Amino acid sequence: MEKKWYPQMDGLRTAAAAAVVMIHVSAGSAGGAAQVCNQLARFAVPLFILLSAFGHGAPGQNLMQPVPLFLRRMKRILPPFWLWSALYLSLDALFGRPHAAPLWDLISGGAYMHLYFIVVLVQFELLYVPLYRAVERAPYQTLLLSGLITLVMQALLCGAQLGLCRLPALPVPYSSLFVPYLLFYTVGLWLRRRDALPVSGSGKRLVCIGLLWIVSAAAVLWTVRRFPTLGSLSLRPDLTVYVFTSGLLLWELGSMVRQMPRPVRRLSELSFALYLSHPLVMRLWNEWTVRQEPVIYLRLWQSWLMTFAGGLLIAGLVSCLPHGSLLGGAPHRKSNKITEGKHGEKTRNKSI
């Protein structure tokens, strides 16, 4: 399969994976540097949604057969989701905190806090064909409508968090629904349909985007300081703006280098397995350390480094297994060659 390849995508995936680890190790922080890092890392999950849409939205697909398309993608997503969910459920039971409804948690993402991303992604895959056709036929109208739906839903979530309104109870959290993420997915499809993203960096553009990022980051931090109860909420209008400025900044930084370093490319390949496995490091460490006398506490950077390195080690080991893709590992590839296109853009020829 030959398709246009943007090396900046590797940088975005790597940054998002590192940010997800930061969100989890700094969760529950009430102030200080840990809260700042927690809030500034919250671009990660929406950016992963955007990147997933970009990766799946290649032109020329056979949309007349949506079921085989859906099953092919679920083959990559669902087995790791179920296996890691079963592992986390088993650990909770082993450590004396069994779930009241383990079967429901196994399929709804309730086995561990971060698995809701997979549930959201599955919903978007179910809606992929109508969303793709909407972006294809009426791109700007679709973007406008999805933006309106996303921001209204996020505003309602903020209102409920502040006690200004009450949302009806659902079997799953609202963060596990596709609605608050709709804009990110449609933007990913729209960008892939255009397939004309800048591949060379510009110093002036970098400065402008950097200033926009600073303003959006300041708005995020001001919101949390002004409304502390919103600090645990990842779906807010201010964060939505911040997600896009962060994505633009990361893209421009990636465009300033001629080629992504090999470690970044490898981290990008392992990002899915890292996302699934890093809570295992946190879980085992917490269970061990609370049994020590005195209890061992790590600084934020130490906790992040331990969790990131441990999760990356697990991701690498999983990817080396013969059927490691069942656990989210990077698929084995026979060839991975890069060639130059007619306009200088790079294409990647993959043989799986």
Strand locations in the chain (E): 2-4, 335-340, 346-351
Q: Is the peptide bond before 322 cis (omega within 30 degrees of 0)?
A: no
Asked whether 246 and 54 are in contact (CB, 8 A), the reply is no
Q: How far is CA 28 from CA 65, 108, 232, 322, in A?
A: 45, 23, 8, 38
Mean pLDDT of 40-61: 90
**In whole numbers, what is the pLDDT of the chain averaged over residues?**
89
What string of DSSP letters covers 208-244?
HHHHHHHHHHHHHHHHHHH-GGGGG----HHHHHHHH
Burial class (CB in 10 A: 0-12, 13-18, 19+), 18: middle
The residue with tokens 């510009």 is 202
pLDDT surpassing 60 at residue 350 = no
The residue with tokens 């779930």 is 99
Q: What is the pLDDT of residue 219?
A: 97
pLDDT surpassing 50 at residue 317 = yes
Q: Which residue from 36, 38, 18, 15 is spatially nearest to 26, judged by alpha carbons?
A: 38
Asked whether 166 and 160 are in contact (CB, 8 A), the reply is yes
Residue range 18-32, pLDDT digits in tens: 999 999 999 877 678
User: Which are the contacts of 325, defined by CB distance < 8 A and separation ≥ 6?
Assistant: 76, 80, 331, 332
- The type of residue at 79 is P
Q: Model confidence at 334, in pLDDT bands (50, 70, 90)?
A: low
Residue range 256-308, pLDDT digits in tens: 888 889 999 999 999 999 999 999 999 999 888 888 778 788 899 999 999 99
What's the pTM value of the predicted model, to 2 decimals?
A: 0.90
Of 171-175, 199-203, 212-216, give the lowest mean pLDDT range.
199-203
Q: How far is CA 16 from CA 271, 281, 317, in A?
A: 8, 18, 21
Share of the chain above pLDDT 70, in %: 93
Q: What is the pLDDT of residue 289?
A: 87
Residue range 134-187, pLDDT digits in tens: 999 999 999 999 999 999 999 999 999 999 999 999 988 999 999 999 999 999
Q: How many CB atoms lie within 10 A of CB 348?
A: 16
Of 6-15, 27-36, 85-94, give the lowest mean pLDDT range.
27-36
Asked whether 112 and 106 are in contact (CB, 8 A), the reply is no
Q: How many CB atoms lie within 10 A of CB 301?
A: 12
What region does 173 belong to: left with phi over 0, alpha with psi -120 to 50, or beta?
beta
3-class secondary-structure state, position 195: coil
Q: What is the pLDDT of residue 194?
A: 83
For residue 123, what is the enclosing H or E element?
helix 116-126
pLDDT surpassing 60 at residue 239 = yes
Q: Which two tokens stand for residue 274?
A: 């890292």
Q: What is the 3-state secondary structure (H, E, C) of 66-107?
A: HHHHHHHHHHHHHHHHHHHHHHHHHHHHHCCCCCCCHHHHHH
Q: What is the pLDDT of residue 342?
A: 44
Q: What is the pLDDT of residue 352?
A: 30
Q: What is the pLDDT of residue 243?
A: 97
3-class secondary-structure state, position 273: helix
For residue 271, what is the enclosing H or E element?
helix 271-289
CA 125 to chain centre: 15
Burial class (CB in 10 A: 0-12, 13-18, 19+), 61: middle
Q: What is the pLDDT of residue 3?
A: 54
